[in-house]
Amino acid sequence: MTAYELLTKNLEDIHVMLKDHGCLLNCLKEGGDTPVLRQCVSVCPHKQKLKETLLEAIQVLEESRKAFRSKQLEALRKKLIEVLAEIA
């Protein structure tokens, strides 16, 4: 990645954060009982990537469940499902 591309990406990230902050301020100004952060904050790219990776790992473990009857793999699959549910 070139310096220009990195700077462009950083500026885009800053723009998204400013938009989120503006939305948050508007929600707080209006009041209400809705969970403000869940309503206003854009999807974090790291969290989205984590969800995608967890879903992929769970799918692979699910597909291999019949081929390998391992209690450890089953426990790992269940643990990944729990983590995915927590961050969703």
According to the model, what pLDDT value does residue 7 have?
92
Residues 17 and 53 in one domain: no
Instruction: Name the one residue in this structure whose structure tokens are 């967890």.
Output: 54
* 88 residues of the chain, pLDDT tens digit each: 799 988 998 899 899 888 888 887 887 788 765 565 555 655 677 777 888 888 888 888 888 877 777 888 888 888 888 888 877 6
Domain co-membership, 3 together with 30: yes
Give the number of domains in the chain. Answer: 2
Q: State residue 11's pLDDT score.
A: 93
How buried is residue 84: exposed, middle or buried, by Cβ count under 10 Å (0-12/13-18/19+)?
middle
* Domain co-membership, 57 together with 86: yes
Whole-model pTM: value is 0.48
- Do 84 and 54 lie in one domain? The reply is yes
Distance CA(83)–CA(79), nearest Å, equals 6
Indicate if 74 and 86 belong to the same structural domain: yes
Residue 37 belongs to what domain range?
1-42
Dihedral, CA atoms, 51, 56, 57, 60, nearest 10 degrees?
160
Given this model, what pLDDT does residue 58 score? 87
